[in-house]
Amino acid sequence: MGAEVRIYGIVGIPEACSGDNVADLIAAGLEHSGLAIEPGDVLVVTHKLVSKAEGRVIALDSVDPSPFAERIAQRYDKDPRHVEVVLRESARIVRMDRGILIAETRHGFVCANAGVDASNVPPGYVSLLPVDPDASAARIRSELISRFGAEHAVIITDSFGRPWRNGIVNIAIGAAGLQPLLDYRGQADTFGNELRVTVMAVADELAAAAELVMGKVERCPAAIVRGYPYQPGAGGASDLVMPAERDLFR
């Protein structure tokens, strides 16, 4: 029989401001929700909560767009200041067409607009991805373990589109306390065939599962996934990034 997995949304988390302690905000939400972190839990947190607390929100009025950003914005009827922020957050432009800008971030993530997002922030502002999401996850985990005494894992998420598929899915952009990949290579399937390439992105699967209760408009920026037998470890979401030498589409 497989593991019974339950997911609990954490509501009542205060709106984050620059300089806030994310662990304190989550603890307030846990108290409001009548929940506590238990050993073996996976705490899933949207990056927006982390980015706001880490000051990764920019007022567009403070941005001076470059001539290149002006040209892109004029061609596709976009805000040149927003385009400029995307360009600044990009390590590489992967594709730009029909008003869609796909970029590689400094973390190695390939996503729309380099993760720059105008949702769930006040008008006239955009949020950026955390500078080091793995470090942010590790810090949140350490502080919550000190507070609650329960060994657990933390995943920081963002919503990414997928090539050849409609719709967006939550993925892990930061992780601490678990191995983000589950390697089945060398094991046998139910027919005795040796698995040679099967490596499951469990951190992404947990991120996507948590999104089912977190949603986009429910003011539920965190959730607890309970009952999944993850492998503890020192891995991070950076382990999920495909190395350039193995990227067939680069």
Mean pLDDT of all residues in 154-170:
94
Q: Which residues of 67-91 are buried (b: 16+ CB within 10 A; e: fewer)?
A: eebeebbeeeeebbbbbbbbbebbe
Q: Place 247 in a pLDDT band, splitting at 50, 70 and 90.
A: confident
Residue 189 has pLDDT above 90, yes or no: no
Predicted TM-score of the model (pTM): 0.95
- pLDDT-derived band of residue 221, with 50, 70 and 90 as boundaries? very high
Please tell me which residue, 219 or 134, carries the higher pLDDT value: 134
Domains of the chain and any CATH numbers: 6-53+131-241 (3.30.1330.100), 58-126 (3.90.1660.10)
The answer on pLDDT for 218 being more than 90 is no
pLDDT band, very low/low/confident/very high, at 146 (cuts 50, 70, 90): very high
Q: Residue 3: helix, strand or coil by DSSP?
A: coil
Query: From CA 91, how far away is CA 114, in angstroms rounded?
Result: 9
140's tokens:
């949140």
Q: What is the pLDDT of residues 55-64, one digit of tens each?
A: 999 999 999 9
C-alpha to C-alpha distance for 191 and 164, rounded to whole angstroms: 31
pLDDT bin (cut points 50, 70, 90) of residue 23 is very high
Tell me: the pLDDT tens digits for 3-21? 799 999 999 999 999 999 9
Q: Is 151 exposed, middle or buried (0-12, 13-18, 19+ CB in 10 A)?
A: middle
Residues in the chain: 250
